Amino acid sequence: MKKVLIITYYWPPSGGAGVQRWLKFVKYLPQFGWEPIVYTVDNGEYPVIDNSLLDDISKNVTVLKTPIWEPYDFYKKLTGRKKEDKINSGFLSENKNPKFLEELSKWIRGNLFIPDARMFWIKPSIKYLINYLKKNPVDLIITSGPPHSTHLIGLRLKQTLQIPWVADFRDPWTNIDFYQELKLSKWADKKHRNLEKKVLTNSDLVLTIGENLKNELIKLGGKNVQIVENGYDEDDFTEEENINIDNEFTIAHIGSFTPSRNHNVLWQSLKELTLENVEFKKQLKIKLIGKVDHSVYNSVRKFSLESHILSLGYMSHNKVIEEQKKSKVLLLMVNNTPNAKGIITGKIFEYIASGRPVLVIGPKDGDLSQIINNTKCGIVCDFNDVSDLKSALISLFQNKLSFSSDASYYTRINLTEKLSNLLENVSE
C-alpha cells in the first residue's frame, strides 16, 4: 500500500464545509490502495466546532499535530473582542457598523500576513515534516488550501525531499471573492501572485473542484490541473424512519450567509408573494442554519419578513442533514462576485442527496447551474430576476414541479476512486 501525507489546516473537531473534502477522502483512500497520514494543527482557530465529525476518522489513520501561533489574539484585542470569541471567515460580520479597527485589521491581514494568518505555521511545519519524512518516507504529498499557507509547506518539502506533490485548491487564491477587500498594497498583491504562481508551476498535480476554477488556475500557471469534485457520503444519508417533511413551506439556507450571498431578489420576491397569496404568507418559514451576517437581518427587517424567520444557528453535521431532509426547499445563494460562474459550494451535493428540491440564486451559465441541470434536482434563478424567482417559488409551494435528483456520480467513494487514479499517475 502506498503512503500519502495530507497537509490540511481544517480537520475535526473543526466544523463547516472546509473540513469535509479531505475527511472523506481519508476515510475511503485505503480502499484504493493508499494509506493516508494526516498532518494538521492541534490548536487551530476554527470558526465552528463539530465533534460529531471525529466519528469519521478511522483508528488506523495516523494523525500528526503540531501547535500553531495565529495572530487572532492580537486581532481580538485590537477589535475589543473576548478571547473566547470565534473569528468568522469570509468577512462575515455580526456588527451593524464595522469599526475603524476592524477595517485596519483587514489591511494588516492582507499586507502583513501573506498568504494568510496561518503563515507562522509554515517554517515549524517544514522543519517537523522534513525530520518525520526522513524516518517515515511517503510516496506522495498533498496540500489543501485555503489556507494557502499549506501549499508553501508542500512547496518547500518538494524542493527539499523531491517527493511528488499535489496542491488542492478548494477555493481560489488571488481570485477569491474577498481578495479585493484585503486593501492590498501593490507590493503585497505582487507577493501573493508570485507565491501563487510558484505553487501552481512547481506542483506535480493541481486539483480543484470545477471547470471555471480549473481554467483560472491554468491561466495563472497551473501545468497539470485536474478536477475532483466535492460530493456527499452515502453513509451520512442512510434511511431514517422518523424524519417527516415539515408541514409548513420551509425554505432552508444552510451554511454561512455572507453579504455577497444576501440578494435582494430573494427578499423582494418573498415579500411580494406574502402580499399576493394569503396561504403562502401563512405557511412560509425560512430556516437560517449557520453563521448569518447582520446584513441579512437588515434585509429581513427592510422587507418586514421577521415573523417568517427561524434562526437556528450552527448545528452538527448530523443535525444539518436531518434538517435538509425535513425542509420543503433547500436554498443555495451563490456569491454575487466576479468569479460567480466558478463557485460550487460544497453543500450542493448534500442538498442533492437529501432528495429535496434545490433553489439556486446565481448565474444560469455557471458551473453550479450545470450540476443542477445534470442532476435534475432543482431550479436556478438569476440574481436580479424577481419575476422568474416568484414563479419558481410559487411552483415549489404548489408542488407543480418534479425532480429526479440523480446524485450517484457525486458519492464520496466514487470521487475517491477518481482521486486515487490521478494520484497513481503522479506517484509512478
* Residue 367 CA to its chain's centroid (Å): 15
Closest CA to 38 of 54, 51, 17, 15: 54
Q: What is the pLDDT of residue 93?
A: 47
Write down the pLDDT at residue 105: 74
Rounded to whole angstroms, how far apart are CA atoms 397 and 248?
10
Q: Residue 410 and residue 353: Cα distance in Å, rounded?
A: 9
Cα–Cα distance measured from residue 168 to residue 145, given in angstroms and rounded to the nearest whole number: 6
Residues of the chain with CATH 3.40.50.2000: 2-231+412-427, 237-407
Amino acid at 372: I
- Please state, as a whole number, how many other Cβ atoms lie within 10 Å of the Cβ of residue 28: 20
pLDDT < 50 stretches in the chain: 90-94, 96-97
Cβ(342)–Cβ(213) below 8 Å: yes
The β-bridge relationship of strands 225-227 and 205-208 is parallel
Position 99 scores a pLDDT of: 64
Coil vs helix vs strand at 109: helix
| Proportion of the chain above pLDDT 90, given as a percent | 70
pLDDT at 73: 62
- Burial degree of 400 (CB within 10 A; 0-12, 13-18, 19+): exposed
- Can you name the residues that pair with 205 across neighbouring β-strands? 166
Nearest residue to 333 (alpha-carbon basis) of 279, 295, 283, 280: 295
Domain 237-407 adopts which CATH fold?
Answer: Rossmann fold (3.40.50)
- At 285 the pLDDT is 97
Q: Return the pLDDT at 338.
A: 87
Is residue 371 classed as helix, strand or coil in its secondary structure? helix
CATH of the domain spanning 2-231+412-427: 3.40.50.2000
36 three-state secondary structure: strand
Sole residue written with cell 439556507: 253
Cα separation, 375 vs 378, in Å, equals: 8
CA distance 383 to 331: 13
Position 266 scores a pLDDT of: 97
Letter for the amino acid at 296?
V
At 426, list the grid cell. 503522479
- Decide if 9 contacts 42 (C-beta within 8 A): no
Q: Whose grid coordinates read 491581514?
A: 109
For 320-378, the DSSP string reads HHHHHHH-SEEEEE---STTGGG---THHHHHHHHTS-EEEES-TTSHHHHHHHHHT-E
Grid cell digits, residue 95: 456588527
Q: What is the DSSP letter of 148?
A: T
- Which phi and psi (to 5°) does residue 45 adopt? -90, 85
pLDDT of 103: 73
